[in-house]
Structure 1
Amino acid sequence: MIKVQESRAVELKALGWPAEAISQYERLWEYRQRWGAINLDPEERGFLRKAESELPKRVASGQGGSQKKTTQEKSHYRWLAFHLEAMTQPGAVAGIEAGEQGAWPILLEEELRALDYFEPVLGLADTHKAKLFIPAREQWVSEAAAQARILTYDFEAPLEVLRQTGKTSWKSIRSAATAGPQDYPVLDAEAARSFRASVRSNLLALVRATFPSLSGNDQPDPPDDWQRS
């Protein structure tokens, strides 16, 4: 492990951390350098660990540059992909007919596509703001339900299976206060195309506007045929 000899507050700022949190990091980092981590409160040590876990790892001289996780390796991205994969497994949703698509998979595909394109940092500052996506997802799916057949899907079941294999902090994609927590709208081909176009436009705008690490991002929206290579 490489001993860090200087504060990395500048890097936290680049990741979109708020000024108050950066100031707290600098104060605690300096205290730890002078007096050692043992003299910090458990909450303060936890704060430093959280901050440093968001930073790219440094490697020894001569072994290359910083090892930085890709967007697709970040926990938030993998959480979305986990739920998408679970609900699109064969047999996951009973009653879907040929040519139909679930509104939830369409939404998650488009959300992942937007993350692939804009590549936000998805550190602490971004994932804190990601809570704003919860009501937006519910609103878009409820609008799709007006022109859909409603089937049933247990959104909690995949997480229960995951918890049996080990500890995870991942939660359901649905809000705990949602009415009809197992409602799963499915759309015919024409309605699915219309819903995808609508949610794509909305998600691109929401991703750009929500994540602090994308502040000042002036990328144009991707063309309709864009996919991550």
Structure 2
Amino acid sequence: MRDRIPLAWAVGLGSVEEMVAEAVTYARAGFPTIKLKIGRDPALDLTVVREVRAAIGPDVAIRVDANQGYDRITARRILPKMEEVGLQLIEQPIPRWDYAGLAELCAALETPIMADESLYSLHEAHHLARLRAADLFNIKLLKPGGLFRAKQVAAVAEAAGIPCLVGSMPEMGVGTLAGAHFAASTAVVTYPCELIGPLMFRGDVLRGNPLGDLGRVPGYLTVPDAPGLGGEVELPPE
């Protein structure tokens, strides 16, 4: 069990200048990992990755997420160039159904390939593990059907020697609390998680700040020790 979870901040698609500025802001705020959305124009994506690395320096990890945006040929051409700046992981570079292509990329690249859209059910977890089509699993609690089935996916990952992180869709406070407890209690979750949903919304249904460091010490989330998920729902006045 852990009581503190390292986080990754996700930078959405934008101009090169916008993405660099956002990455710098959250790297300086203390996030140990910056995630960059890619998958549109390969040349532009490469420019973003290079410019962000130059701006944030070597000590903050960079991960990229193409959201299935490349085909297999494009991925084989552009991703090795991105690797030159140092990547923590590459998330879902090609379509979710291309298991053979994912396995090919896992074998060809030094950077771990993480499955997201390819991973919904326990069946897909078995399939990815059997084909060696993923070096990492992004477990989002809602996709397999909640905490219990997410634990089953994590068990497959652990048996196959596949490390995991907990992603977000993104959820507000209640869903983020569930993800925090899952991450804290799952040994195979070893990478910085993406439980940043509450930072993307102006309000929440939870009373106070049950997420602890999230919002006060950017980059880390303290797991609440109160009963249940650790939060109290604040109902609107009648």
Give TM-score scaled by structure 2 length. Answer: 0.24
Q: Which has the larger radius of gyration?
A: 1
Higher strand share: 2
Determine which structure has greater relative contact order: mean sequence separation of CA pairs < 8 Å that are 6+ residues apart, divided by chain length.
1
- Structure with the largest fraction of helix: 1
Q: Give the structure-1-normalised TM-score.
A: 0.25
